[in-house]
Chain A
């Protein structure tokens, strides 16, 4: 069985540019719930 992140763990923070070139930082959304989706790729 491979490693998974448990529910209740603190989500690892990240900083990425979105499709508009704006920086998205996960921790900047504290105070509201976030649904994070990891896609499989379009190709």
Chain B
């Protein structure tokens, strides 16, 4: 997502990433990796749970999920990963945004 950040920026898209790590770990990771978009520690995954992020105890915890939300606040695309690496390509997400 970071590699193609400018593609998202050009389309006026805001990227927000939430994660279960604590504020200090989150901040450190964001700084070390120079991640250009918004990152928010989601304490106790309260927000992620409202989006029904899947948890698989046999696969070491939370599975990634991604949503495209349109300018009216509606979810237009969802993807719930069923493994750690199950994340759609940026081109897929960009195409959805172009078709909104």
> Contact residues of A with B, CB < 8 Å?
2-14, 16-19, 24, 26-27, 29-43
Provide the residues of chain A in CB contact with B66, threshold 8 Å.
Answer: 35-38
Interface of B is mostly: mixed
The main secondary structure of chain A at its interface with chain B is loop
Q: Which residues of B contact A (CB under 8 A)?
A: 1, 8, 11-21, 23, 25-27, 29-31, 38-42, 47-48, 50-54, 61-78, 80, 84, 93, 97, 100
The interface residues of chain A lying within 8 Å CB-to-CB of B11 are 33
Question: Using Cβ atoms and an 8 Å threshold, which residues of chain B touch A5?
Answer: 51-52, 67, 75, 78
Chain B residues lying within 8 Å of A42, measured Cβ to Cβ, are 19, 21, 25-26, 29
Contact A36 B40 (CB under 8 A): no
Contact B40 A17 (CB under 8 A): yes
Is B100's CB under 8 angstroms from A4's CB? Answer: no
